[in-house]
Amino acid sequence: MQRTLVSPKVDSSSLNLNGALPDYVEGRNDNKTNTRLANLPRSTLVNRNIMVSGRRTSVRLEPEMWTALLDIARREGQTIHALATRVAETKKPETSLTAAIRVFCLAYYRTALGGG
């Protein structure tokens, strides 16, 4: 015999929260609610899978950082994967790969401009 779980419908007005729940939790559907949802901050980070030392990993960077990394890879005649592997091998153990890639891009461009 297969059992089906059913969530009970809870009327938030009986909880006496004095409007503490946002409209979208209470199930209201009006323009004010839609505007609130539309104005929620959205992440500008782009998640991509790359290979680091032959293993797939996920990295979240701003689109500008992905562009910079691709530009550096082209200038150096390498793939993004090879650059990320190089960064991973030289970063401090307590530093995340994402942070190390950002610092690498910054240092690369500073050096190219003669400032680093």
Whether 57 and 17 map to the same domain: the answer is: no
Q: Is the pTM of this model over 0.75?
A: no
Answer whether residue 91 is part of any domain. yes
Give the model confidence (pLDDT) of 6-27 as tens digits. 434 444 444 444 444 444 444 4
Answer whether residue 72 is part of any domain. yes
Whether 27 and 57 map to the same domain: the answer is: no
Whether 54 and 20 map to the same domain: the answer is: no
- Whole-number Cα distances in Å, 47 to 6, 10, 24, 82: 35, 37, 27, 18
Would you state the pLDDT for residue 32? 59
Give the model confidence (pLDDT) of 55-91 as tens digits. 999 999 999 999 999 999 999 999 999 999 999 999 9
Answer whether residue 2 is part of any domain. no
Answer whether residue 82 is part of any domain. yes
Q: Do residues 97 and 91 make contact, with C-beta atoms less than 8 angstroms apart?
A: yes
Those residues with Cβ within 8 angstroms of residue 59's Cβ, 6 or more apart along the chain or in another chain: 47, 48, 49, 50, 84, 97, 98, 101
Query: How many other C-beta atoms can be found within 10 angstroms of the C-beta atom of residue 65?
Result: 19
Closest by alpha carbon to 106, among 52, 53, 69, 62?
69
The total number of structural domains in the chain stands at 2
Q: Could you tell me the residue range of the domain that residue 32 belongs to? A: 9-42
Whether 38 and 50 map to the same domain: the answer is: no
